Structure 1
Amino acid sequence: MPIASVISRWNSYVACSPLRKMGHTALVAATTSLIAKGMAFIKEVVVASIFGLSGALDIYLVAFVLIGVPLSILLNAVQNAFITHLAGANLTPNEEGKRLVATSLLTLACLAVLLPVWLWALPYALPWLASGFSAEKRQALETALYWLIPYYFLTGFNLLGYGVLQAKARYLLNGLLPTATPIVIVLTLLVWRAAGDWKILVISLVIGSAIESLLLLVALYRHGQIAFPHRLGIKGMNPIITSSLALLPGTIMLTASPVIEQAIAAAMGEGSNAALAYGYKLPSALQGIIVTAIGITALPYFAKQLGQGELDYCLHSLNKLVVWLMFGGVLLIFPLSLFSSDIVALLYQRDAFDAAATTRVTPIQVAYFAQIPFALVAMLGIKVLVALKLNWLMSTYTGLAVLLQAILAYEFSARYGIPGIAWAATLVTALLAATSFFTARITLVKLSQ
């Protein structure tokens, strides 16, 4: 059959090169995640039609970002270290299952210790973080944080579970399982849309995350990747713990970035947080498909190649990927930026989301579209640095980037309004992309000599 012949030739072509295999797996990862990202975007359209740029949505968005701070700090470090360990180590499925359970228990224990400290400190920080909120709105924000506690722990496990799927190149499940949460949110909002309150968003998010965790547990168990160790041994965990600690300074600073953005937006009037969020929705969805596909495939790929001593081929792969990613990213964003206003109107402008909201969101979306090619290269460079075990250096780069972004976001927002926050992020992403790429390249050149 012609189709079978084409597939056979494609498989033969891909098999000739490890880099082609990585490109193929990235394509598979991006394709399978389309359903989840598409469902997530449908959820945003439904939310926009019900909430518009309302204060209730401001409360939900800020609470969502704030409850995720300890989660992002710890999980961004642990997940990267965990994937690198699984991809580079020759473990049986049973041993992988034991590492997953041990890592999950230790991580959830750390999250449990961090949470009360964070919730205790937040009320003192809210006058700054939510300076534009009224007293009533700030009180609702504090309540929303407590309602999101179950989501906090569920997401902690989910991210580690997805780390196993990514390390083992099981991209179909990795792309499909995240559809559970947006499906639940959409169904809940369609049934109880009259409520129009932040509580319905929080409840549906928690229920969706719980269903997602259950499905992930079943998938891992069926593949023999859930196994309880006889005792919580630290010996086998040393590489994960050491790498995680090295990555923590960078993830602390990286997590501060959305908090700073939301704090600056909160001081700019009603609906500013929602406008910033809507401007980021479509660029974020595209980054979630393309940038994430590069991220989840590049780390195992480079970790494996470096483990086999293929330094020259790693350098070749890095150079080639940067050219293709930058070129492809620019081609992608040009038409999107040109028709940004029409895109916003088509996707969101209905019911509570009016023409004035479209005008407000469009320039923010353009700025975030411009970030995409740089985000692709930055993601590649960061993953190569992690694979090279230059974790402290990567942490330093991300820390400096976040500090610079905070300064630029404050200055640009004073001059250009909310779009200035987005342009600050784009400029800093471009600098991080250049720095991480050239550092990774120079390191590989030195090691290969």
Structure 2
Amino acid sequence: MLRRLSVIGGWTLVSRLFGFLRDLVMASVLGAGPLADAFLIAFRLPNHFRAIVAEGAFNAAFVPTYAATLERDGEARARAFRSQMLSWLMLVNLVLLALALLATGWLVFLLAPGLGTGEEGVRALAIDLTRITFPYLLCMSVVTLMSGVLNAERKFAAAAAAPILLNLAMIAAFFSVQWFPDAAHAAAWGTLAGGVLQVILLTAAVARAGLGFSLPLPRRDGEVALFFKRLGPALLTAGVVQVAVFADTILASFLPTGALAHLAYADRLYQLPLGVIGIALGTAVLPEIGRDAGVGAEDKARGVMDRALRICLMVGLPIGLAMAFLGEDAIRVLFQRGAFDAAATAGSAAVLAAYAVALPAALAIRTLVAAFNGRGDMTTPLKALAGATVVNVALKALLSAEHGAAGLAMGTSAGVWIYAVTLYVLCRTRGYVSPFALADKVLVPAAAVTMALVLWGMPDLLAPVEDVLLLLPALAAGLVWLALAAALSFGAYAVVLGGGLLVVRRLARSRR
């Protein structure tokens, strides 16, 4: 698991670093004003549909079905199944694209009804940009299928590395902004170019792996019928997830200009550990659960879950604390320049702190859902998610009126915790996971408390080096301060946790 996690997480980390570079350039060029709001709407629309039609629902239904087919029936049957899936994806996406291009204005209105009420021309710009970015959905649907095939074959690198191309394409577009009407149009065309480049990369990867595709007439029989049977609940689950995301966008469109940008820049930092650890773990665990449960190896499947959840607990708590305490400093160092001012930093930091509260639960969700999806159970996560989403959306509407974009993030965190705890209780009831060891229940919180105390006293701890930092350029000084703060706080966490685990192991050996 650690080897696979290192491959997926390593490439994801590289991608997220390029994503930070992209956002540094985007923050400087677009800032947090009307151009940024218009582009972010155009960027979110295809990604909302992508999360429903492609990654969210498709992966949940396809990967376990494909892995079991490959294990049970061999490569020829698996090739026929994946080729049918390509035909269906192309058909569905072409219909969606035609509808979206005909009704772009309505889509923008549904996603952001308050957009442009205070700024002339913002809605028209968002509609124009959406017509450029929406074909990105077709590209990413093909990428998702090919990534699922490669992941089921235990080939993770190409799929994890593909998003790097999106970031590079958008960076190149920002540096070529003089060739476009404005920076928002540059970002939109960069998005589409990034989707095309990812399709090319994944096509080369599946060809190199000898995993060919054909394009037959779509049929509904055999594994395809089983896929569609599982797809229905998976679509509803992905749709419910997007209800909460839509609620963010809709409510933020009524907030003062910049709220959408505050959410986006905070989410960039929040998504870093989610991608490197949470999504990477879920990606690695899903095909393994599908294989093990498919042949009745429940003990093996439970062991996979136990290891994954332990990683989420031990990593999620310290990273969440670091985001809560150091988030404003990180956003200031990374983004505050050009059109991104101190007010944008403060707004984004408040959102990040609210998100950070739920980071351990957010890391675990993909793994917990995989425990059910890997066994072909798409309905249980849907029921758990529906209840969590009701609370999520209600709190967003209640808290955003007083706390703005940070209130939206508070509602998100509450919903994430409810969803994760519900899934974990159901997993324990059904025997999908083992209880956490007593050492984990005691030592991890103790180490987290120690880290929180160190972070709280960080200004005093680093006071002796302040004079030295003043000699450095502002960006270098900020990066050094953050590096020292991270080293001290994570070091304190590691010392307490590692020392405690060492003592526990020695005591266990002495009793033997």
Matched, 1:42 2:21: yes
Q: CA deviation at 1:58?
A: 0.5
Instruction: Please tell me the root mean square deviation across aligned C-alpha atoms, in Å.
Output: 2.2
Q: Residue 277 of structure 1 is aligned with which of 264, 269, 273?
A: 264
- Structure 1: which 5+ residue stretches go unaligned? 1-21
1:171 aligned partner, one-letter code: F
Counterpart in 2 of 1:80?
Answer: 60
Q: Return the alpha-carbon distance in structure 2 between the equivalents of residues 228 and 339 of structure 1.
A: 50
Q: Does 1:412 align with 2:391?
A: no
Greater CA drift, 437-446 or 205-214: 437-446
Q: Which of 198, 201, 215 is the matching residue for 1:215?
A: 201
Change (3 A) 1:32 1:68: closer
- Aligned-pair CA distance for 1:249: 1.4
Distance (Å, rounded) in 1 between the aligned partners of 2:430 and 2:136: 40
CA contact (8 A) 1:111 1:153 kept: yes
SS of aligned partner of 1:389? coil
Q: Partners in 2 of 1:69 and 1:219 — Cα distance?
A: 26
1:133 to 116, 132, 146: 116
- Aligned partner of 2:237 among 225, 250, 255: 250
Q: 1:280-311: per-residue Cα shift (whole Å, max 9, x none)?
A: 11111221111111110111121122123122
| Partner Cα separation in structure 1 for residue 432 and residue 175 of structure 2 | 56
Indicate conservation of the 8 Å contact 1:130/1:138, yes or no. Answer: no
What one-letter code is carried by the residue in structure 1 that aligns with 2:253?
A
CA contact (8 A) 1:333 1:369 kept: yes
Q: Which consecutive unaligned segments of at least 5 residues does structure 2 have?
A: 434-512
* SS of aligned partner of 1:235: coil
Q: Which amino acid aligns with 2:322?
A: P
Q: Which residue of 2 aligns with 1:144?
A: 129
Which amino acid in structure 2 is aligned with residue 305 of structure 1? D
Q: Percent identity between the aligned chains?
A: 20
1:72–1:177 distance in 2 versus 1, CA, 3 Å: closer
Q: CA deviation at 1:240?
A: 1.5
Alignment of 1:310-321 (within 5 A): 310-321=297-308
Rounded Cα–Cα distance in structure 1 between residues aligned with 2:235 and 2:141: 16
Take 1:445 and 1:374, find their aligned partners in 2: how far apart are those partners? 17
CA distance 1:320–1:100, shift in 2 (3 Å): closer
Q: Secondary structure at the match of 2:431?
A: helix
1:199 aligns with 2:185: yes
Instruction: Give 1:347 deviation, angstroms.
Output: 0.6
Q: Which residue of 2 aligns with 1:55?
A: 34
Q: 2 CA distance for matches of 1:341 and 1:228?
A: 50
User: Out of 422, 427, 440, which is 2:409 matched to?
Assistant: 422
Aligned to 2:225: 238
TM-score by length of 1: 0.88
Structure-2 change in CA distance of 1:115 and 1:320 (3 Å): same
Q: Distance in 1 between matches of 2:85 and 2:216?
A: 14
- Between the two proteins, the alignment pairs up a number of residues equal to 425
1:361 aligns with 2:345: no
**Which range is displaced more, 225-234 or 364-373?**
225-234
Higher relative contact order (CA 8 A, sep 6+): 1
Q: State whether residues 267 and 352 of structure 2, in contact with CA within 8 Å, keep that contact through their aligned partners in structure 1.
A: yes
Aligned mates of 2:126, 2:77 — CA distance in 1? 42
Structural mapping, 1:4-403, within 5 Å? 22-75=1-54, 76-89=56-69, 90=71, 92-117=74-99, 123-124=105-106, 126-127=108-109, 129-134=112-117, 136-192=121-177, 196-228=182-214, 232-236=218-222, 237-403=224-390
Structure of greater Rg: 2
For residues 130-156 of structure 1, the C-alpha deviation after alignment (integer angstroms, 9 at most, x for no partner) is 314236211222222212232121111
Q: Which amino acid is 1:82 matched to?
A: F
Three-state SS of the structure 2 residue aligned to 1:339 is helix
- Write out per-residue CA displacement over residues 323-362 of structure 1, whole angstroms, 9 at most, x where no aligned residue: 4422321022222321111100111011111122111211
C-alpha distance in 2 between matches for 1:284 and 1:372:
10
Amino acid paired to 1:424: G
